[in-house]
Chain A
C-alpha cells in the first residue's frame, strides 16, 4: 500500500486541487466588465441556477445525445474491423493495420476537422446527400449529421485500437468448439464472441462517449455555430467574456453529469452480472 502513496499524492495534487479551485470559482460572484470573479463578493449559487434553465437544455441534449450516437456507431462499425484485425493470421499484416490506425491519431485534429468541413460543405458531397434524403443542407439535422461524422472520424481509430485487445482476449478455441458442436458462424458470434467482449464493448462505448462529450474543435467548426457543445460554452465563458464563475459552474455540471452517467452504467452492468451469476 505504501508503494502507492506517491501516485495517490500526485493524483490528489493534480486532480483535486484544480477541481477544488474550479468548485470555489463556480460559487463566486461575477461583476460585468471585470475579468474573472469578484473576490470581495459574496458566495452564490446563481451561476448554477442560470445553467439549469430550459434555455440551455438544447446544449445539454446536443452534447450528450450526439456524443452517445457517435459512440454507439463507432463501436458498431469498429467492432467488426477490430475483430478482423485481431484475427489476421499474419503478424506483419496486423502490425501494419495497428500502425495505420495509430498514424491517424497523429494527424492534426484541426486539419481533419477542416477536411471534413470542406468535404461535407457546399462544394463537397453534402448538397447531394441532403437532396437525396430530402432535407435542406442548412437544416439542423444536416448539421448534426456532419458533427456526428466529425466525432466518428475522431473516435474510430481509438475505438478500433481499444477493441482489438478485447477480441484478442477471447480464446479462439471457444469459437472452434462452438462451431464443432453445430453452431453457425453467426450463432457463434452472437452467443460466444459478443458476450465475452461485452464488458470491453461497454467500457469502450463509455470511453468514446466521454471523449466526444469533451470534444471542442469538432462542434466549434462543424456545428456552424448552430450546434454547440457545453465545452464551447465553457470556452466562451473563460476566453471571450471572462466570466470565470459561470464557466467553472458549467465545467462542474458537465463533470458531475458525466460522472453520474458512468456510475449509473457501471452499477447497472454489475447488478446484471450479479443476477446472471445467481
Chain B
C-alpha cells in the first residue's frame, strides 16, 4: 500500500464511520449536467415532451471543464449520468475513459448528423451525440464602443481605453489567444504570436476587465463597463437582448469566427444508458433539434432540422469564404494547452495589466 492509498483509505474510513456517501445519480431517474439559461430550460422542456425518463438537469457552476474535476473526484460513481459539453472538453472526457461509446443502433437520429461533428476516440468509436453547431468571435456594443471594430488592428486603437472585456485564458479554451495568433502569423500550435499580440494589447490600456465566468463578461458589456469582447454565440445572444451587439464576422480575414460542436456525452458509469440514449435520440430529432437550437441560438447538428434565424454571422458558406473568415481549431490539441496557457497568461500578461 502506498501513501496515497493509505491516506485515501483513512479518508474513506472516516466517511464510512460517519455515514457519508458520495453523490450517486438518482435511483428513479437520471441526472444530467447542463449549461444555465437558456439551455437548461430548453432541455427541461424537451425532457417533459419525451416523458419517459425523469431527468434532473443540474446547471454548470463555472467553466465547461469544471465538470471534469467533479467526475474525477467521484469516479466510478459520479453524480451525473450524462453531461452537455463542447468540442474542447470532449477529448478530456474521452481520454479519461468516461465517455460511453454510441452508435446509430443506440441513437438512430445520429444518421442525420454529419459524422465529422461526432467526437471519436483513437479507435474511431463514436463518443458524443452532437446537438448544435456554434461558434465564437469578437464583437462590440454598437453606440457604446467608441469605434466600429472591423479588423484585429482596431482592438489596439487608442480610442478603446479600458473598453475591452478580455476572456481569461481558459475561457473558450483560449480561442481569443488563437484568434490573435492567427491574425499575426501563428495558430494554436504556434501560439507565440498570439501571446505577443496579447502583451501588446495589454500595454495599450484597452483591457478594462479580464473575466473568468461568462456571466461576468456579459454583465461587463451590458452594464456599460466595457464595450468590446470575444464571445460565444449563446453569450452574444444574452448580451444582444440588453444592448445592440455586433458580431465582427466576414469583415476582414484577421477577424476569424471559430466554429465547434456542442452535444451530449453519456458517462460509461451510468446504469440507465438505454433510457438515456432513447431520450437523446428524441432530443436530436429534426423537430426537437430545431426547437432547442432556436431557444439557445445555435445551428442544429441534425442536417434535417433546417437553418435557425439570427445566426447569419456563423453561417459562412463556400470554401473560399470559410478559409478566409472561419477557423476550426484542433480541439484535441487545445484541450492539453490549458495549463501552459493559463500559467503563461498569469506570468506574462497579468503584470502588464496592472
Is there a chain B Cβ closer than 8 Å to A33's Cβ?
yes
Contact of B335 among A18, A33, A227, A228 (CB under 8 A): A33
Query: Residue of B at shortest CB range from A20?
Result: B7
Task: Report if A17-B11 is in contact (Cβ < 8 Å); known contacts: A35-B68, A225-B168.
Answer: yes
A32-B336, A35-B72, A36-B72 are known contacts. Are A21 and B11 too (CB-CB below 8 A)?
A: yes
> What CA separation (Å) do A220 and B337 show in the bound complex?
23
| A260–chain B nearest beta-carbon distance, Å | 24
| Chain A residues with CB under 8 A of B7 | 17, 20-21, 24
Residues of chain B within 8 A (CB-CB) of A117 are 219
Q: Is B244 an interface residue (CB 8 A)?
A: no
Across the interface, do A226 and B354 meet the contact criterion of CB distance under 8 Å? yes
Q: Which residue of A lies closest to B333 (CB)?
A: A33
- The complex places the Cα of A246 from the Cα of B340 at a distance, in Å, of 12
Q: Does B335 lie within 8 Å of A58, measured CB to CB?
A: no
The residues of B that contact A35 with a CB separation of less than 8 Å are: 68-69, 71-72, 92, 96
Q: Are A242 and B342 in contact (CB under 8 A)?
A: no
> Contacts of B3 on A, CB cut-off 8 Å?
24
- Assess the B346–A56 pair: CB atoms within 8 A: yes
Contact (Cβ within 8 A) A236 B170: yes
Is the C-beta of B304 less than 8 angstroms from some C-beta in chain A?
A: no
- The residue of chain B having its C-beta at the shortest distance from the C-beta of A25 within the complex is B4
Once A17-B10, A138-B162 are accepted as A-B contacts, the answer to whether A226 and B350 lie under 8 Å apart by CB is: yes
In the complex, chain B residues whose CB is within 8 Å of the CB of A226: 207, 209-210, 350, 353-354
Q: Which residues of B contact A30 (CB under 8 A)?
A: 339
**B contact residues around A212 at 8 Å (CB):** none
- On chain B, the residues within 8 Å of A224 by CB distance are 208-210
- Closest CB in chain A relative to B72 CB, distance in Å: 5
Contacts A21-B7, A123-B224 given; does A225 touch B211 at CB 8 Å: yes
Interface residues of B in 202-228 (CB under 8 A from A): 205, 207-213, 216, 219, 223-225
- Contact of B350 with A240 in the complex, beta carbons under 8 Å: no
Q: Nearest residue in B to A18 (C-beta to C-beta)? A: B11
Tell me if B141 is interfacial: C-beta within 8 Å of chain A: no
Q: A34-B95, A226-B350 are in contact. Are A241 and B210 (CB under 8 A)?
A: no
The reply to whether the CB of A176 lies closer than 8 angstroms to some CB of chain B is no
Contact A225 B212 (CB under 8 A): yes
CA A233 to CA B345, docked complex, whole Å: 12
Residues B205 and A138 in contact, CB atoms below 8 Å apart: yes
Contact between chains at A242 and B350 (CB < 8 Å): no
Across-interface contacts of B10 in A (CB, < 8 A): 17
How many positions in chain B have a CB within 8 Å of any CB in the partner chain?
52
Q: Please, which residues of chain B bring their CB within 8 A of the CB of A242?
A: 65, 68-69, 72, 92, 338-339
CB < 8 Å neighbour of A32 from B68, B168, B225, B339: B339
What range describes how many residues of A lie at the interface?
Answer: 35 or more
How near does chain A come to B205, taking the closest CB pair, in angstroms?
7
A243 / chain B contacts, CB cutoff of 8 Å: 339
Q: How far is the CA of A33 from the CA of B342 in the complex (A)?
A: 13
Instruction: Point out the residues of chain B lying under 8 angstroms from A233, CB to CB.
Output: 346
Q: Which residues of chain A come closer than 8 Å to B219, judged between CB atoms?
A: 114, 117
Q: B166: CB under 8 A from chain A?
A: yes
Chain B contacts for A236, CB-based, 8 A: 168, 170, 212, 342
Is A241 in contact with B347, judged by CB distance below 8 angstroms? no
A174 within 8 A of B: no
B120: interface (CB < 8 Å) = no
A122 on the B face (CB < 8 A): yes
* Complex alpha-carbon distance, A211 and B91, angstroms: 39
Check A24–B212 contact: CB distance below 8 A. no
Contact A239 B14 (CB under 8 A): no
Chain B neighbourhood of A202, CB < 8 A: none
Give 19 A-B pairs besides A32-B339, A121-B223 with Cβ atoms closer than 8 angstroms. Answer: A24-B3, A24-B7, A35-B68, A35-B69, A36-B72, A58-B351, A59-B346, A122-B223, A122-B224, A136-B161, A138-B205, A224-B209, A225-B168, A226-B354, A239-B63, A240-B170, A240-B212, A241-B342, A244-B69
Q: List 29 A–B pairs whose Cβ atoms lie within 8 Å, in order of A's numbering.
A: A17-B7, A17-B11, A17-B14, A21-B8, A21-B11, A24-B3, A24-B4, A32-B336, A32-B337, A34-B95, A34-B96, A39-B4, A50-B343, A121-B225, A122-B223, A220-B212, A224-B209, A225-B166, A225-B209, A225-B353, A226-B207, A226-B353, A236-B170, A239-B66, A240-B63, A240-B66, A240-B170, A242-B68, A242-B72
Tell me the B residues contacting A by CB distance below 8 Å.
Answer: 3-4, 7-8, 10-11, 14, 62-63, 65-66, 68-69, 71-72, 91-92, 95-96, 161-162, 166, 168, 170, 205, 207-213, 216, 219, 223-225, 335-340, 342-343, 346-348, 350-351, 353-354
**A-B pairs, 4 with minimum CB distance:** A225-B210, A33-B336, A138-B162, A55-B347
